[in-house]
C-alpha cells in the first residue's frame, strides 16, 4: 500500500479532529489526574475505633497512655491518659513517638537468635524458644550443680516494676549476688540520704508546690527526673493567678532551655557547682535562722569558713559574693524552697560531694519532707510477695562477694557499680563470670567501649533481652527479644521523682508483632525449667499472674484510687464497686493507673558534721590545661535519647541545626572562642580528649560559656535505622570518667578537650 | 481573602509562651496524628515538614545575658488569608469555621501560596512520602496523605471536628462543648501551654485568653489577622512577634 | 548522494538569499541539540524524581525558573508591542522587523510555558487551572492569558512558516498565509489586550502578596502598582530585546537584515518608555520606602541583606535603568549599531534584574523577626532547562532564518 502526501494529511487532520471530539483525551486526562492522587499510600480505611489505657515504659516516668486502635489490631496513636495524676493527658515527645519502636520493622528483632560466627560478626541463626530456653536453663542448672551460681550476672537497665523485681528475685533464688542495675539517679540519692539522714531513700521533689527552685545544672526542661512531672511543675510555676510567684534559679554554663526559661540564670564555671552550694550554705548559716533537729551546725559553720572562704569561692565559681548573699537570702526566706542536683538529665552520676553540698541547702532551710520540698521516700513495697525461698546452693552463692564490689567494704553504701563490674571482669579480679544477662542497657554505647569488650570476651555466655540490635546486643551469644511495652504485660511501680505513689499497669494493646517473649515470661519459664526453690520463687504461669500478685498489694493497702474512679477510702465502708480484688483488678486493667494522693516522707537521723564529705582529691586533681585548653560539656536534650532507647525518627527529625547537620554532630561554642581558633559557623573540627576523638561541626552561640564546647549526647550510633546509624558522633567516648572514691561511681561531666580545625 | 464570619464557630488557638518549654511534644503529636512522613536526613530545615514548627528565639544579648525562648508555630489560620486568594485552582480554602484547608488532590504544586505565607506554615512535598516497612500500620485512617508535588500544612486537625460533631449528634446536641473539638498538639502539651476552641463563644477558654493583656499575634501589622494568639510576659519575646522600628512601642493586641 | 541532499536542501532555502554551508550549519545545530539534550535529561529527572532535584525549598518556592519565565515573558513583549505599533498604531516601517519580533515572542512564551510545566509539582494536573480556576488569583489570569497568547503568537508565526518556498508551493497554504496576513491586525489587537493583562498580572502576582512587605504594593481597584510597572518595564524592554537579538543575528550571519533606522526607531521607543517606567518606578520605590515599609515596622535599608545587597537596586535602576535611557534618547548613539545594541543590552539586563529582585529577594528576606535571611543557588537540573530554552530559541531562529523569509529587507540591504 502506498500512502501519498494527501492521504497522510487527511489521516493526520482526521485523526486529530476525531481524537478531540472523542471522549478519549478527556477521560485520559482525568485518569492521569486520578493516578497522581494515588502517589501517596492510602491509609487502611476505617474500622472500629477503640482506646486502650496502658502505661508508657520508655522511661521511669510511668505515664498513663491511651492508645488509639483501629479494629483492635492496628495502633495508630499514643496519647496521654487525661486521668493520670502526673501527665494529665499530656505526654513527653518520646512517649508520643512510641509507636515507632513498635512498628519500625527494620529495628526490631523478630525471633530468638543464636550467634553462629564470631562475636559481633553479625551472623545469627533463628532458633525456637524451646531450644533457646532449654539450652540456657541447662547451662544455668549445670553451674548451680557445680556451686557456681554466683558466676551468673544480670545487668538491668530497667529498675522499677514487677519485671525488674522478678529478675532480682530470680537471681536471689538461683544464688547469685550479681544482680546489677545500671546507674540511675536513685543510686546516689540513697547514698546521700544514708549519709545525711541515716536512712536509704529516694529523694522525690514536690516541684509543683515549690516557690523557690534552685537548680544546680539540672536540665529540668530537657529530661531531668521525670519529664512529665517537671512539666506539671513548670506549668504550676507559671500559673498567672498564683499568689506566691515562684522563682526558678538555674545555675548552668549555657543558655539552655532551662537556664533561659528560669527567672534567673547564674553562669557558673564548669564543675564548680559544689563550691557555690557550700558558699550559699555558709551564708544561710550566718545570716538566717538555723533549722531545728539538726546538730553540728556550729562545727559546720566553722568548717565552711575555714575551707571555703568567700574569695576562694568567687575565684572558683566566677560568681560575685553579692550574688551569693542575695541568692542565699532569697532562698532561705522563701516559704517552700528546694535545691536540686544532678546535671543534665541526671542519668550520669554526679559526685557525692556535689550532691551532698546541694542537698545540704534543703536540710538547712527545713525543706525535707515539707510541701514543695524534698521528700525522702522508700520505693514501692512488694509486700504482697512471700519471702524468696532460698536453698543451700543459693545461700552459698549469695555469700560470695559481688563482682561489682557494691556494698563492699570499699564502697559500703553503693548498691550497684555497673562500670566496676565490667572493669573487674576485664581484669579477672574476683572470679570468672560465666554468664551475663543484659536487659535494657547499652553500655557499649554509653561507657568505655574497650573495657566492655574486654569484659565480654571473658564471659562465655552473654544473653540479651533487647527488642533491638543495639551495639551491646550485637556482641551477645543469644538474643531473646522482648516485645515492646505495647505488646506485653508489665508495670511501673513508681513514677520516678513523684512524691506520692503511682502504679501503672502496662498491658498488650495488640498481639505481639513478632515471635517475642517478655523478660518476665522468660524468667518464669527458666525458673520452672530449673525447678526447686528457683521454680518456687516464681510460681506463675506467666507475667500477667506475677503482676496480679503485685497489684494485690495495692488492693490490700486499701488506700489511693484507680484513675478515673473514686477514692478507695470512700469505697471502704460502702460495699462499692471495688469490694473485691477481682473487681479492683478488672478496673485497674481498664483504667491503667492507681495512685495515692498524700505526700509522706520518712524522717531520718539528724545531720552531723561527721557525714560532711571532703572534696575528693581524685576528682579535682589538675587536668592537663595546656594540651586540652577547653571544656567539653555534654548536653542533654529531651529530643535526643542518650541511654538504652535509641532516638526514634520523629524526634531526630525535630533536632535543630545546632544539634545535627547531615551526618555531622554539631557542637556549640561561644563566638569569641571560635574566633580565637579562627573558626567560622559550620566549620568542621576534631575534638580530642585524653580518651579519644570525635568529629563535629561547630555552631556559634552567644549563650554558650566561653572556652567551652557543648556537645549533645545520643548521636553516633552504629546500630539502628538510617536516621541514626552512622550519623553524628558519640561524645560519651570523650568523657574523662573518673571514679568518685566516695561511691565508686564513674562520674563524668565537663572534660578537658582540644579543638582542631579540619 | 477575607473569610465570611457569619457562623457561630470561629476556631482559634492560644499558645502561652510563658508555659512553653520547647519540649516538642506538640510537633511529635502533630506528625503522629497527621501521618507526616520522615526522611533519613531531615537536617535541611528549609525542606522539612513539621506543621507545628518550634522556633528558638534568642534575645541577642551577650553571655551571660543571652536567653532563648520557644515559639511553636502552627498555621495561623489567618482570617485575612494571604494564601487562599492566590491559589489558581482553589486548592486551599478557608471554611465558615475559619479553618484554612488544603486539598491535596487538587493542588498543582505551583507554590504561590508558599510564597505568599509570611509564617512559613506551608510545606511543599519535595519527595514521595515514604513510610519505612511496618510504619504503614500506624497511619491514621482519618487523615489523607499528601503525595509528592503538592503543598501541605496544619489543618487544625480538622478531621477531629467531624469526630466531635458525630459524637454531639449521637448525644442529640447541635453545638459542641468547649474543648470537645480539640487538636492533637493541644492534647499532647505536657505543660498545657496550648488552648484551642471557638473564639466566638465568649465563655470558651480560648476566647478569654485571647483577650489577656499578655496576648499578641505574629506580624499583626501585615493585616493577616491570625487566629493563633500568643501570650508572653516578656517584652523581648513580644517584640519579636512583629517588626518594630527602633523607637516604636509594642503594639497591643487588636 | 551527498550532492543530492545538498541540492534538495538548497531548494528549501528562500530564493536569492545566500546561507552558510550545510556542514557548518549542521555543526551549529548539533551544538544546540547537545544543550537541548542536557535540558531534556534534567527535565526527565525532574518529572521522574520530582522537584527535589532542584535547590528550591520551602523558603524559595519561586526561584531561577520563575525569574527566567518572568524575564523571558517581559523580553518577549517585543512581539505584542511591535505588533501593536505596526498594525494598530500604524508604524508601517516596523513591518521590516515584525516577523522577527513575533518569532522571538513565540520562543519566549513557548519556552516559558515549557519551564512552567517543569516548575509545578503536579504537571499532570496543570489543566486544573482551566477546570477549577480561582478568578481571584493573579496566577489564574497569567495562566489563561499566556496560553491564549501563545495561541495568538502561533497564528502570527504560522504565515511565516507557510511562506517557506516548498510549503508556499502548495496552493492551499499560500492562500491561507495570505488571508492570515490580511487579518493580522485582529490578532495583533487580541495579543495586545492579552499581553497587557498578563504582563500586568505577573507583576500583580507579587504586588498582591500583602504579607510579603518587600513585594506588596497597593494600587488601583484590584491592581497593585506592580501590575502597571511590569507592563511598563515589559513594553520598554521588549523592543530593546528585539533590537538586541536582531543585531546579534546580523553579527552572526554577517548580513545586514534590517535598516538601522528601523532598529533606531525601536530603540527610541524603548528609551522613551523606559524613561516613563523609571519615573513611575522611582515614585513607587520612594513611596514604598518612606511610607509603606515604616508602617510595617521595617526600614528601607534592611531590605537589602547579604548577597542581595543595596547594589542590586543601584544596578537595576542606575546602571541598567538611567544609563540606557540616556543612551537610547541620544540619536547619534541610536544610529550606531554597536552603541544601540549596548544600550538595549543594558535595558534588557535591567528588566532581568527587576524580575530577579521581585522573585528571589522577596522570598529571601525574612518577614518573621526571628527568622533569618536565606540564600539560594540553583542546581544543575535548574540551569539545564533554562539553557535548553535558550538553545531552543537559537534553534528556531537558526532554522527560521535559514529556511524562511524572515527579514523582508534582507535582499534589498545586501
Ligand atoms: N524501662 C525503663 N525502666 C527504667 C529506666 C529506663 O530507662 N527504662 N530507667 C531507670 C532509671 S534511670 C531510673 S532513675 C529508675 C527510677 O525508677 P524508680 O522506680 O524510682 O527506681 P527504684 O526506686 O530503684 O525502683 C525499683 C524498686 O523496685 C523494688 N525492687 C527491685 N528489686 C527488688 C528486690 O530484689 N527486692 C525487693 N523487695 N524490691 C525490689 C524496690 O522497691 C525498688 O524501690 O527507673 C529505671 N527504670
Ligand atoms: N524523654 C525522656 N528522656 C528521659 C527521661 C524521660 O522520662 N523522658 N528520663 C530521664 C531519666 S529520669 C533518666 S534517669 C534517664 C535514664 O535513661 P537512660 O539514660 O536511658 O538510662 P540508662 O540506659 O540506664 O543510662 C545510663 C547509662 O549510663 C551508663 N553508666 C552506668 N554506670 C555508669 C558509671 O559509673 N559511669 C558512667 N559514666 N556511666 C555509667 C550505663 O551504661 C547506661 O547506659 O533518662 C532520662 N531521659
Ligand atoms: S516521661 Fe517517660 S513514661 Fe512519660 S511519656 Fe515520656 S517516656 Fe513515657
Ligand atoms: S499562616 Fe500562612 S498558610 Fe496559614 S492561613 Fe496564614 S497565610 Fe495561610
Ligand atoms: S501550591 Fe497548590 S495550594 Fe498552593 S497555590 Fe499552588 S495550587 Fe494552590
Ligand atoms: S492543630 Fe493539628 S495539624 Fe495543626 S499543628 Fe496542631 S496537631 Fe498539627
Ligand atoms: S508541647 Fe507545649 S511545652 Fe512543649 S513545645 Fe509544644 S507548646 Fe511548648
Ligand atoms: Mo532517673
Q: What is the pLDDT of residues A259-284, one digit of tens each?
A: 999 999 999 988 889 999 999 999 99
Across residues C263-268, what is the average pLDDT? 94
Residue A67 has a pLDDT of: 97
Ligand 7 centroid to Cα of residue A233, in Å, is: 14
Percent of chain B residues topping a pLDDT of 70: 96
| Strands (E) located in A507-614 | 561-562, 593-595
Task: Please tell me whether residue A564 adopts helix, strand or coil conformation.
Answer: coil
Residue A686 has a pLDDT of: 97
Which residues of C are less than 8 Å from A33 in CB distance? 124-125, 128
At residue C170 the predicted structure's pLDDT band, cuts being 50, 70 and 90, is: confident
Q: Look at B109 and C51 and tell me if their CB atoms are within 8 Å.
A: yes
Across residues A686-691, what is the average pLDDT? 94
pLDDT digit string, tens, across residues A146-196: 999 999 999 999 988 999 999 999 999 999 999 999 988 889 999 999 988
Lowest-pLDDT range of A577-586, B117-126, B208-217, B231-240: A577-586
- Ligand 6 residue neighbourhood (C-beta within 6 Å): B 29-30, 33-34, 51-52, 74, 154-157, 183-185
Across residues C57-86, what is the average pLDDT? 93
Of B93, B98, B103, B121, which is best to mutate to test ligand 4, by the most ligand atoms within 8 angstroms of its C-beta?
A: B121
Which residues of C are less than 8 Å from A32 in CB distance? 124
State which residue of chain A sits closest to C128, comparing Cα positions: A33
Which of A653, A512, A641, A489 is CA-nearest to residue A102?
A512
Task: Give the closest-approach CA distance of B131 to chain C in angstroms.
Answer: 17
Task: Give the closest-approach CA distance of A570 to chain B in angstroms.
Answer: 30
Angle, vertex CA A95, rays to CA A94 and CA A99, nearest 5: 100
Residue A619 has a pLDDT of: 47
Contacts of A578 (CB under 8 A, 6+ apart): A562, A565, A568, A571, A584, A587
At residue C19 the predicted structure's pLDDT band, cuts being 50, 70 and 90, is: confident
pLDDT digit string, tens, across residues A51-83: 999 999 999 999 999 999 999 889 999 999 999
Residue A1 has a pLDDT of: 45
Residue C189 has a pLDDT of: 85
Is residue C386 within 8 Å of residue C114, measured between CB atoms? no
Q: Look at B243 and C121 and tell me if their CB atoms are within 8 Å.
A: no
Cross-strand partners of A743: none
Give the nearest partner residue to B35 out of A43, A238, A705, using CB atoms: A43
Which residues of C are less than 8 Å from A29 in CB distance? 127
Ligand 4 centroid to Cα of residue A235, in Å, is: 29
Instruction: Please name the residues between 383 and 402 in chain C that touch chain A, using a CB distance below 8 Å.
Output: none
Residue nearest ligand 5's atom 6 by CA: B110
With a 6 A CB cut-off, is B151 part of the ligand 5 pocket?
yes
State which residue of chain C sits closest to B153, comparing Cα positions: C58
At residue C60 the predicted structure's pLDDT band, cuts being 50, 70 and 90, is: very high
Across residues A107-117, what is the average pLDDT? 96
At residue A475 the predicted structure's pLDDT band, cuts being 50, 70 and 90, is: very high
Tell me which ligand sits closest to the C-alpha of residue A163: 1
Ligand 7 centroid to Cα of residue A93, in Å, is: 9
Residue B254 has a pLDDT of: 44
pLDDT digit string, tens, across residues A369-427: 999 999 999 888 898 899 999 999 999 999 999 999 999 999 999 999 999 999 999 99
Tell me which ligand sits closest to the C-alpha of residue C137: 5
Which residues of C are less than 8 Å from B94 in CB distance? none
pLDDT digit string, tens, across residues A520-532: 999 999 999 999 9
Q: Find chains touching chain B: ≥3 CB pairs under 8 Å.
A: A, C
Task: Give the closest-approach CA distance of C59 to chain B in angstroms.
Answer: 6
Phi-psi region of B172 (alpha: psi -120 to 50; beta: other; left: phi over 0): left
| First and final C-alpha spacing in chain C | 32
Q: Look at B190 and A46 and tell me if their CB atoms are within 8 Å.
A: no
pLDDT digit string, tens, across residues A690-745: 999 999 999 999 999 999 999 999 999 999 999 999 999 999 999 888 888 888 88
Q: Report residue A704 as a C-alpha cell.
A: 554558650
State which residue of chain B sits closest to A664, comparing Cα positions: B43
Task: Give the closest-approach CA distance of B145 to chain A in angstroms.
Answer: 6
Closest approach atom of ligand 1 to CA A347: 12
Closest approach atom of ligand 5 to CA B116: 5
Positive or negative, the CA dihedral C129, C130, C136, C138 is positive
The A-side interface with C (CB below 8 A) comprises 29, 32-33, 35-36
| First and final C-alpha spacing in chain A | 75
Which residues of A are less than 8 Å from C124 in CB distance? 32-33, 35-36
pLDDT digit string, tens, across residues C281-312: 999 999 999 999 999 999 999 999 999 999 99
Residue A340 has a pLDDT of: 97
Across residues A199-208, what is the average pLDDT? 95
Average pLDDT over chain C reads 91
Q: Find chains touching chain C: ≥3 CB pairs under 8 Å.
A: A, B
Q: Does C62 touch chain B (CB under 8 A)?
A: yes
Across residues C271-275, what is the average pLDDT? 96
| First and final C-alpha spacing in chain B | 19
Q: Look at B149 and A39 and tell me if their CB atoms are within 8 Å.
A: yes
Q: What is the pTM of this model?
A: 0.91
Res C159 pLDDT > 70: yes
pLDDT digit string, tens, across residues B14-50: 999 999 999 999 999 999 999 999 999 999 999 999 9
pLDDT digit string, tens, across residues C359-414: 999 999 999 999 999 999 999 999 999 999 999 999 999 999 999 888 988 888 87
Q: Which helix (H) or strand (E) holds C363?
A: helix C362-364
Q: What count of CB pairs under 8 Å joins A to C?
A: 9
Res C357 pLDDT > 70: yes
Which residues of C are less than 8 Å from A35 in CB distance? 124
CA distance linking residue A176 with residue C411, whole number of Å: 109
Residue A535 has a pLDDT of: 96
Q: Look at C369 and B243 and tell me if their CB atoms are within 8 Å.
A: yes
Average pLDDT over chain A reads 91
State which residue of chain C sits closest to B68, comparing Cα positions: C370
Residue A749 has a pLDDT of: 73
With a 6 A CB cut-off, is B109 part of the ligand 5 pocket?
yes
Closest approach atom of ligand 6 to CA B51: 5
Res B73 pLDDT > 70: yes
Q: Does C127 touch chain A (CB under 8 A)?
A: yes
Rounded to 5 degrees, φ, ψ at C191 are: -60, -45
Across residues A189-218, what is the average pLDDT? 94
Res A578 pLDDT > 60: yes
Angle, in degrees to the nearest 10, between helices C22-49 and C95-119: 30
Task: Please tell me whether residue A66 adopts helix, strand or coil conformation.
Answer: strand
CA distance linking residue A472 with residue A453, whole number of Å: 9
Ligand 3 centroid to Cα of residue A188, in Å, is: 22
Residue A567 has a pLDDT of: 64
With a 6 A CB cut-off, is A183 part of the ligand 2 pocket?
yes
Positive or negative, the CA dihedral C271, C275, C276, C281 is positive
Ligand 2 centroid to Cα of residue A183, in Å, is: 7
- Between A735 and A41, the higher pLDDT residue: A735
Residue B253 has a pLDDT of: 44
Residue A571 has a pLDDT of: 55
Amino acid at each position: 500500500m502506498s500512502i501519498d502526501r494527501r492521504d497522510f494529511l487527511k489521516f493526520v487532520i482526521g485523526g486529530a479532529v476525531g481524537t478531540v471530539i472523542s471522549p478519549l483525551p478527556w477521560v485520559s486526562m482525568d485518569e492521569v489526574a486520578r493516578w497522581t492522587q494515588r502517589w501517596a499510600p492510602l491509609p487502611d480505611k476505617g474500622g472500629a475505633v477503640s482506646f486502650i489505657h496502658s502505661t508508657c515504659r520508655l522511661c521511669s516516668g510511668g505515664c498513663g497512655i491511651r492508645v488509639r486502635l483501629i479494629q483492635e489490631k492496628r495502633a495508630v496513636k499514643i496519647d496521654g491518659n487525661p486521668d493520670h495524676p502526673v501527665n494529665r493527658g499530656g505526654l513527653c515527645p518520646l512517649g508520643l513517638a512510641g509507636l515507632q519502636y513498635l512498628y519500625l520493622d527494620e529495628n526490631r528483632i523478630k525471633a530468638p537468635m543464636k550467634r553462629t560466627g564470631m562475636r559481633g560478626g553479625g551472623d545469627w541463626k533463628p532458633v525456637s524458644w524451646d531450644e533457646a530456653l532449654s539450652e540456657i536453663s541447662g547451662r544455668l542448672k549445670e553451674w548451680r550443680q557445680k556451686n557456681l551460681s554466683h558466676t551468673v550476672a544480670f545487668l538491668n537497665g530497667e529498675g522499677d516494676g514487677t519485671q525488674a523485681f522478678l529478675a532480682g528475685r530470680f537471681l536471689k533464688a538461683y544464688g547469685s549476688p550479681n544482680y546489677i542495675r545500671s546507674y540511675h539517679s536513685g543510686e546516689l540519692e540513697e547514698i546521700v540520704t544514708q549519709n545525711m539522714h541515716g536512712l536509704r531513700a529516694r529523694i522525690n521533689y514536690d516541684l509543683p508546690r515549690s516557690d523557690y527552685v534552685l537548680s544546680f545544672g539540672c536540665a529540668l526542661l530537657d529530661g531531668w527526673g521525670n519529664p512529665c512531672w517537671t512539666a506539671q511543675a513548670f506549668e504550676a510555676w507559671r500559673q498567672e493567678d498564683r499568689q506566691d510567684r515562684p522563682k526558678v534559679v538555674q545555675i548552668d554554663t549555657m543558655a539552655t532551655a532551662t537556664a533561659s526559661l528560669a527567672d534567673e540564670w547564674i553562669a557558673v564555671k564548669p564543675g564548680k557547682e559544689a563550691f557555690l552550694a557550700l558558699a550559699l550554705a555558709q551564708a544561710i548559716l550566718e545570716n538566717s535562722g538555723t533549722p531545728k533537729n539538726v546538730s553540728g551546725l556550729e562545727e559546720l559553720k566553722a568548717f565552711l569558713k575555714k575551707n571555703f572562704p568567700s574569695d576562694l569561692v568567687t575565684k572558683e565559681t566566677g560568681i560575685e559574693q553579692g550574688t551569693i548573699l542575695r541568692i542565699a537570702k532569697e532562698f532561705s526566706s522563701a516559704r517552700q524552697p528546694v535545691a536540686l542536683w544532678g546535671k543534665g538529665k541526671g542519668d550520669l552520676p554526679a559526685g557525692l560531694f556535689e550532691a551532698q553540698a546541694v542537698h545540704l541547702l534543703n536540710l538547712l532551710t527545713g525543706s525535707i519532707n515539707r510541701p514543695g520540698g524534698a521528700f525522702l521516700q522508700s520505693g514501692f513495697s512488694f509486700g504482697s510477695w512471700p519471702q524468696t525461698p532460698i536453698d543451700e546452693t543459693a545461700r552459698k552463692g549469695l555469700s560470695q562477694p559481688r563482682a561489682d564490689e557494691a556494698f563492699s567494704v570499699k564502697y559500703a553504701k553503693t548498691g550497684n557499680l555497673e562500670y566496676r563490674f565490667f572493669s573487674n571482669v576485664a581484669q579477672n579480679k574476683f572470679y570468672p563470670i560465666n554468664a551475663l544477662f543484659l536487659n535494657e542497657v547499652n553500655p557499649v554505647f554509653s561507657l568505655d567501649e574497650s573495657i566492655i569488650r574486654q569484659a565480654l570476651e571473658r564471659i562465655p555466655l552473654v544473653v540479651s533481652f533487647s527488642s533491638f540490635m543495639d551495639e551491646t546486643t550485637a556482641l551477645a551469644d543469644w538474643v531473646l527479644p522482648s516485645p515492646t511495652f505495647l505488646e506485653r504485660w508489665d508495670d511501673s511501680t513508681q513514677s520516678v521523682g513523684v512524691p506520692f505513689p503511682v502504679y501503672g499497669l502496662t498491658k498488650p494493646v495488640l498481639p505481639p508483632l513478632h515471635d517475642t517473649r517478655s523478660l518476665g515470661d522468660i524468667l518464669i519459664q527458666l525458673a520452672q525449667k530449673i525447678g526447686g526453690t528457683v521454680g518456687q520463687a516464681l510460681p506463675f504461669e506467666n507475667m500477667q499472674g506475677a503482676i496480679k500478685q503485685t497489684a494485690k498489694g495495692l488492693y490490700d493497702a486499701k488506700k489511693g484510687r484507680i484513675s478515673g474512679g473514686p477514692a478507695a477510702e470512700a469505697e471502704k465502708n460502702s460495699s462499692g464497686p471495688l469490694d473485691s480484688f477481682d473487681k479492683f483488678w478488672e478496673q485497674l486493667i481498664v483504667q491503667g493507673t492507681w495512685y495515692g494522693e498524700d505526700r509522706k516522707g520518712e524522717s531520718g537521723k539528724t545531720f552531723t558534721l561527721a557525714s560532711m564529705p571532703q572534696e575528693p582529691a581524685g576528682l579535682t586533681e589538675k587536668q592537663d590545661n595546656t594540651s586540652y585548653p577547653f571544656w567539653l560539656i555534654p548536653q542533654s536534650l529531651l529530643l535526643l535519647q542518650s541511654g538504652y532507647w535509641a532516638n526514634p525518627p520523629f524526634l531526630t527529625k525535630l533536632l535543630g541545626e545546632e544539634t545535627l547537620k547531615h551526618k555531622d554532630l554539631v557542637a556549640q561554642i561561644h563566638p569569641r572562642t571560635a574566633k580565637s581558633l579562627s573558626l567560622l559557623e559550620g566549620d568542621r573540627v576534631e575534638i580530642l580528649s585524653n580518651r579519644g576523638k570525635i568529629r563535629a561541626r561547630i555552631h556559634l552561640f552567644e549563650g554558650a560559656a566561653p572556652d567551652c564546647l557543648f556537645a549533645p549526647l545520643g548521636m553516633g550510633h552504629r546500630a539502628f535505622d538510617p536516621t541514626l546509624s552512622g550519623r553524628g558522633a558519640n561524645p560519651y567516648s570523650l568523657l574523662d570518667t573518673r571514679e568518685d572514691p566516695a561511691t565508686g561511681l564513674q562520674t563524668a561531666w565537663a572534660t578537658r578537650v582540644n579543638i582542631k580545625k579540619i | 481573602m477575607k473569610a465570611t464570619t457569619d457562623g457561630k464557630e470561629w476556631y482559634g488557638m492560644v499558645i502561652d509562651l510563658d508555659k512553653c518549654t520547647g519540649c516538642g511534644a506538640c510537633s511529635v503529636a502533630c506528625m503522629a496524628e497527621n501521618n507526616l512522613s520522615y526522611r533519613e536526613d531531615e537536617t535541611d530545615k528549609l525542606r522539612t515538614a513539621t506543621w507545628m514548627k518550634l522556633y528558638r528565639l534568642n534575645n541577642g544579648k551577650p553571655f551571660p545575658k543571652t536567653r532563648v525562648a520557644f515559639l511553636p508555630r502552627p498555621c495561623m489560620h489567618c482570617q485575612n488569608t494571604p494564601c487562599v486568594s492566590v491559589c489558581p485552582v482553589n486548592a486551599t480554602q478557608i471554611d465558615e469555621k475559619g479553618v484554612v484547608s488544603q486539598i491535596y488532590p487538587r493542588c498543582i504544586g505551583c507554590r504561590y501560596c508558599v510564597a505568599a505565607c509570611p509564617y512559613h506554615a506551608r510545606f511543599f512535598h519535595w519527595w514521595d512520602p515514604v513510610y519505612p516497612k511496618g510504619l504503614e500500620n500506624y497511619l491514621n485512617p482519618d487523615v489523607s496523605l499528601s503525595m509528592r508535588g503538592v503543598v501541605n500544612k496544619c489543618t487544625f486537625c480538622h478531621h477531629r471536628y467531624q469526630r466531635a460533631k458525630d459524637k454531639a449528634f449521637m448525644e442529640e446536641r447541635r453545638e459542641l462543648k468547649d474543648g470537645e473539638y480539640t487538636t492533637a498538639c493541644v492534647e499532647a502539651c505536657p505543660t498545657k501551654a496550648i488552648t484551642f476552641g471557638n473564639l466566638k463563644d465568649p465563655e470558651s477558654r480560648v476566647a478569654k485568653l485571647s483577650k489577656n493583656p499578655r496576648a499578641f499575634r505574629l506580624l499583626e501589622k501585615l493585616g493577616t489577622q491570625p487566629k493563633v494568639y500568643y501570650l508572653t510576659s516578656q517584652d523581648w519575646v513580644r517584640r519579636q512577634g512583629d517588626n518594630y522600628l527602633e523607637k516604636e512601642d509594642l503594639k497591643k493586641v487588636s | 548522494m551527498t550532492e543530492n541532499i545538498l541540492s534538495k536542501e538548497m531548494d528549501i532555502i528562500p530564493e536569492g538569499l545566500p546561507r552558510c554551508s550545510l556542514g557548518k550549519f549542521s555543526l551549529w545545530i548539533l551544538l544546540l541539540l547537545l544543550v537541548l539534550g542536557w535540558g531534556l535529561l534534567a527535565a526527565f529527572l525532574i518529572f521522574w524524581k520530582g522537584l527535589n532535584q532542584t535547590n528550591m525549598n520551602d523558603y524559595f518556592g519561586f526561584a531561577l525558573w520563575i525569574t527566567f519565565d518572568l524575564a523571558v515573558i517581559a523580553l518577549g513583549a517585543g512581539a505584542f508591542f511591535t505588533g501593536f505599533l505596526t498594525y494598530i498604531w500604524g508604524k508601517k516601517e516596523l513591518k521590516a522587523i515584525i516577523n522577527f519580533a513575533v518569532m522571538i515572542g513565540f520562543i519566549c512564551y513557548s519556552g516559558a510555558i515549557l519551564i512552567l510545566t517543569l516548575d509545578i509539582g503536579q504537571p499532570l494536573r496543570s489543566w486544573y487551572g482551566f477546570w477549577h480556576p480561582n478568578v481571584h488569583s493573579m496566577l489564574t489570569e497569567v495562566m489563561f492569558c499566556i496560553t491564549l497568547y501563545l495561541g495568538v503568537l502561533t497564528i502570527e508565526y504560522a504565515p511565516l512558516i507557510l511562506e517557506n518556498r516548498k510549503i508556499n508551493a502548495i496552493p492551499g497554504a499560500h492562500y491561507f498565509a495570505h488571508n492570515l496576513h490580511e487579518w493580522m491586525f485582529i490578532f495583533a489587537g487580541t495579543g495586545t489586550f492579552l499581553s497587557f493583562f498578563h504582563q500586568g498580572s505577573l507583576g500583580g502576582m507579587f504586588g498582591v502578596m500583602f504579607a510579603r512587605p518587600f513585594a506588596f504594593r497597593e494600587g488601583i481597584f484590584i491592581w497593585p502598582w506592580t501590575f502597571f510597572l511590569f507592563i511598563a518595564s515589559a513594553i520598554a524592554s521588549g523592543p530593546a530585546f528585539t533590537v538586541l537579538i536582531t543585531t546579534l543575528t546580523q553579527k552572526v550571519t554577517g548580513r545586514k537584515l534590517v535598516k538601522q533606522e528601523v532598529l533606531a526607531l525601536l530603540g527610541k521607543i524603548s528609551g522613551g518608555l523606559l524613561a516613563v517606567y523609571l519615573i513611575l518606578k522611582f515614585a513607587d520605590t520612594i513611596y514604598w520606602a518612606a511610607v509603606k515599609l515604616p508602617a510595617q515596622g521595617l526600614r528601607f535599608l534592611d531590605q537589602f541583606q547579604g548577597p542581595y545587597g543595596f547594589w542590586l537596586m543601584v544596578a537595576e535602576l542606575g546602571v541598567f535603568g538611567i544609563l540606557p535611557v540616556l543612551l537610547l534618547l541620544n540619536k547619534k548613539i541610536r544610529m550606531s549599531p554597536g552603541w544601540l545594541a549596548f544600550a538595549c543590552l543594558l535595558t534588557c539586563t535591567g528588566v532581568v534584574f527587576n524580575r530577579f529582585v521581585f522573585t528571589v529577594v522577596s522570598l529571601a528576606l525574612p518577614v518573621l523577626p526571628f527568622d533569618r535571611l536565606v540564600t539560594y543557588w540553583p542546581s544543575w537540573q535548574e540551569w539545564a532547562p533554562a539553557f535548553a530554552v535558550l538553545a531552543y530559541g537559537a534553534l528556531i531562529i537558526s532554522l527560521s532564518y535559514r529556511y524562511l523569509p524572515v527579514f523582508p529587507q534582507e535582499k534589498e540591504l545586501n
